[in-house]
Amino acid sequence: MAAPKPITTTTVFLFIPNLIGYARVILALSSLAVMRWYPKICTWLYILSCLLDAFDGLAARKFNQSTKFGAILDMVTDRCTTSCLICFLSSAYPKWAIFYQLLISLDLASHYMHMFAMLSSGQDSHKKVGKERGWFLNLYYTNRTVLFIFCAANELFFVALYLCSFPPETPPYFGSRYGIPISYATIMAVVTFPIWLGKQLTNVIQMVQAAQLLAQVDVEERNGKLAAANAKNK
């Protein structure tokens, strides 16, 4: 039986989950291209890009094609697409611009610090969060259902705000038969708001704990060097 051929960088780039990742990027870019003029088309393209986020992970586990490149591609795509949508919201709601700027900053800082902290502590994935980081972050990253609900609600809340930024249409309205002109986008915003708020709190917790973990790594490294220096001087 012939030995399996060694893989190359091209092989990794063409792994199935990474191909799904490229499709996510194309869909996200397409949604940005029509974001200003065609809200319905943009919404479906954006949501489809987000939904594929669940399938690339499934494909990686099914075909044993989990890679560091794929993990980074997945995270970068998530952060960039959400940031681009929030940038649109800051122009659509200029009075809230600084609030949206802070949201982008929190999202980027939290995830960057978390990933760097996990890699610095010897983990090979930012999702391998042990119970020593707290029960909530452990649940958030190890329970796929919880992670999906939080991420989906977060994106749907921003999508709802995006849809609400356009002039209201005549029907369909929720409850229009009863004289209650409430759009479906408004309902989606109200329903997803509590979980969206929980996602922002998660980002804060994640950033604080990442800072503590990085400081602990610094302590261990410095104490190790100090112990080595003391042993050398004896």
Residues identified as active-site = 78
Q: Are 202 and 150 in contact (CB under 8 A)?
A: yes
What is the signed CA dihedral for 67, 201, 129, 57, rounded to 10 degrees? -30
| Three-state secondary structure readout of 103-144 | HHHHHHHHHHHHHHHHHHCCCCCCCCCCHHHCHHHHHHHHCH
Region for 179 from its dihedrals, namely left if φ exceeds 0, alpha if ψ lies in -120 to 50, beta otherwise: left
Q: Which amino acid is at 115?
A: M
Question: Residue 182, SS3?
Answer: strand
Q: Are 163 and 185 in contact (CB under 8 A)?
A: yes
Give me the phi and psi of 174, to 5 degrees please: -70, 125
Residue 100 in tokens = 């949206």
Q: Are 84 and 46 in contact (CB under 8 A)?
A: no
